A = this chain, B = another copy of it.
Amino acid sequence: MEVGFLGLGIMGKAMSMNLLKAGFKVTVWNRTLSKCEELVEHGASIGETPAAVIKKCKYTIAMLSDPAAALSVVFDKGGVLEEICSGKGYVDMSTVDATTSSQINEAITKKGGYFLEAPVSGSKKPAEDGQLVILAAGDKTLYEEAIPAFDVMGKKAFYLGEVGNGAKMKLVVNMIMGSMMNAFSEGLVLADRSGLNQQTLLDVLDLGAISNPMFRLKGPTMIEGNYPPAFPLKHQQKDMRLALALGDENAVSMPVAAASNEAFKTARSLGHGDSDFSAVHERTRDRRRF
């Protein structure tokens, strides 16, 4: 099978490599062309522009760093819009906001093309292992066409209905995750100040009903006051804010998410915006003298 791939950052490179290894014929493009070399060694072709990739392939996947890049690749000179047309599909797996996604969707469908937003849950390691969770929304036929590729890149793909639902699902998941992180952080500090051993708390938690990979992964580094950035705190806080805004539109009262958001904001104001979101722990355990 033949597929286009735009964007060879950490995620995109791992994903397109998995497609090559699984036997897909892949035509790649990246803003910095040198990043294509390793893929070419594994059999990829190169497209000179996004438009060239679109022209060559029945459908094209994009994995770009942010909304600005996602828009640029579609709307700029040599962009997706120049060649997208009836019968061709575009699958944007970048994490973008609902507005960006809608803009791209509108432009592409106006030209007769098919569009699917498909943000993923999971970062570098799951991308390399083909273990991403894919939250797809938009054109159903394109979704079905892309299933063989999704099967290679992810452990599970969901079809969530209309464009926007992929982004919303990510917000809901990240909101729950952000509140859980705060609950966890409060528990660690409470244990410590009450004379309990924090590592023992981790062990007890891991044997019970709320045992989960995040506690296992982040707990030991949080105890050390170490927050290697996997998901930056400022992005987590932005997602909390957007989830609260979504709740606002729908009159859903979310006091725990609201309290968590303020905790993340405090952490941001204390200078931890670029650390991992687990650095909210610095807010909880902040104590100068007592």
Which A residues form the contact surface with B (CB < 8 A)? 121-122, 133, 135, 155-156, 158, 160-161, 165, 168-169, 172-173, 175-177, 179-180, 182-184, 186-187, 189-191, 193-197, 200-201, 203-205, 207-214, 217, 241, 243, 245-248, 250-263, 265-266, 268-271, 273, 284, 286-290
Contact = CB atoms under 8 A, between A and B. Distances in A.
A262 B270 contact: no
A252 B135 CA distance: 33
Contact of A207 (B121, B201, B204): B121
A246 B190 contact: yes
Given A182-B256, A246-B190, A284-B253, A173 B214 contact: no
A168 B180 contact: no
Contacts of A183: 175-176, 179-180, 183, 256-257, 260
A8 to B, nearest CB: 25
Of A183, A253, A262, most buried by chain B (CB within 10 Å of CB) is A253
A76 to B, nearest CB: 27
Given A201-B173, A212-B210, A270-B286, A263 B255 contact: yes
Contacts of A207: 121, 133, 155-156
Contacts of A213: 208-211
Contacts of A186: 175-176, 179, 247, 252, 254, 256-257
A150 to B, nearest CB: 13
A241 B248 contact: yes
